[in-house]
Amino acid sequence: MTRNEFILVNDRPCRFKLKSGKEVFGVIWENSTVGTSSYFFATLSERFDARNKANFGMAIDLDDIVGAELINSSMVG
């Protein structure tokens, strides 16, 4: 997945298809610091229950995502 494709699904509930063939449901969001960006994945319940906690989510590489479908929407990527 490119960063431009990611922007369309940033922090929105989706079904993600990974290079491994696995499909996961959740959200991916960007955490930016000066000069670098990191991306994190969490299930919907983890993301919305933990919004005020600093340490949650699993680091993910956008290159590992081959497609994303917004829930109740069409395929992106």
**46-59 pLDDT, tens per residue?**
776 655 555 578 99
Q: Answer yes or no: is pLDDT of 73 > 90.
A: no
In angstroms, the CA 56 to CA 46 distance is 8
Q: What is the per-residue pLDDT for 53?
A: 58
